[in-house]
Amino acid sequence: MNSAVTSIKLVLLGEAAVGKSSIVLRFVSNDFSENKEPTIGAAFLTQRVNINDNTVKFEIWDTAGQERFASLAPMYYRNAQAALIVYDVTKPQSFIKARHWIKELHEQANKDMIIALVGNKVDVLENNEDERKVAREEGEKLAEEEGLLFFETSAKTGLNVTETFVAIGEKIPLKTAGDQETDSNGVAISDEQRIDLANSGNAAGQTAGCSC
């Protein structure tokens, strides 16, 4: 097994209440809360997974979807290597918002950013398919046109949550044991320093760590 750890900075974007924090809570703690509080500013969490015998550490910025926090988003996606753009399959407006995020990332973010389009809350459809307001094909088509990964998920049941992160990890070049990231003085950067660096960008109103 490769002993080097590849860190992936990942940001979640999407309309308020689509389930961004719930997806992260499912991925990081395998848990779900029916009454999750809206995120204030952003939350930072990490999770390690093994992908094809390599350790990948996700450094996750879970942003707030409420409009009053919209101006903070560039701070989080600017240095990110990957993004999840989340919508709610029962809320057409959230799919329109997802289109806006795709456009903004294509214009402003890292050109080789790996982006996954994620339609969440598919568990709601289990007993009532009428609740679906965004067809699976619509999501697939948009993702294909824009060159994105596509998943329909449920943070509630866990469907496709880990799969989404693993698919992103598989697209990002992994570090080999010989590679080591260095700072401007040529000193190797440890994982812990990396988290501090990520946290040092904190603006007022953000919460570092899990706000769940």
The residue ranges that bind ligand GTP (CB under 6 A) are 14, 16-22, 33-36, 38-39, 64-66, 120-121, 123-124, 154-156
Q: What distance in Å separates the CA atoms of residue 209 and residue 168, rounded to the nearest whole number? A: 22
Stretch that binds Mg ion, among 1-9, 32-40, 102-110, 159-167 (CB under 5 A): 32-40
Q: Count CB neighbours of 111 within 10 A.
A: 5
Closest CA to 151 of 64, 32, 27: 27
Q: Which does 210 bind (CB under 5 to 8 A by kind): Mg ion, ligand GTP, none?
A: none
Residue 143: enclosing H or E segment and its boundaries? helix 136-146
Q: Is 120 in the site for Mg ion (CB under 5 A)?
A: no
Cβ distance to Mg ion smaller for residue 83 or 174: 83
Cβ distance to ligand GTP smaller for residue 87 or 109: 87
Q: What distance in Å separates the CA atoms of residue 66 and residue 15, rounded to the nearest whole number? A: 7
Least CB distance from residue 39 to Mg ion, whole Å?
3
The one-letter code for the residue type at 160 is N
Q: What distance in Å separates the CA atoms of residue 106 and residue 180, rounded to the nearest whole number? A: 29
Q: Which does 124 bind (CB under 5 to 8 A by kind): ligand GTP, Mg ion, none?
A: ligand GTP
Least CB distance from residue 173 to ligand GTP, whole Å?
29
Q: Is 211 in the site for Mg ion (CB under 5 A)?
A: no
Q: What distance in Å separates the CA atoms of residue 112 and residue 51, rounded to the nearest whole number? A: 20
Candidate residues 39, 90, 154, 206; the one interacting with Mg ion per rule CB under 5 A:
39
Cβ distance to ligand GTP smaller for residue 58 or 172: 58
Cβ distance to Mg ion smaller for residue 23 or 82: 23
Q: Which does 123 bind (CB under 5 to 8 A by kind): ligand GTP, Mg ion, none?
A: ligand GTP
Q: Which does 148 bind (CB under 5 to 8 A by kind): ligand GTP, Mg ion, none?
A: none
Q: What distance in Å separates the CA atoms of residue 153 and residue 119, rounded to the nearest whole number? A: 6
Q: Yes or no: say if 160 and 153 are a contact pair by the CB < 8 Å rule.
A: yes
Q: Is 21 in the site for Mg ion (CB under 5 A)?
A: yes
Q: Which does 19 bind (CB under 5 to 8 A by kind): ligand GTP, Mg ion, none?
A: ligand GTP
Q: What distance in Å separates the CA atoms of residue 187 and residue 118, rounded to the nearest whole number? A: 38
Angle in degrees, CA 100, 97, 90, rounded to 5? 150
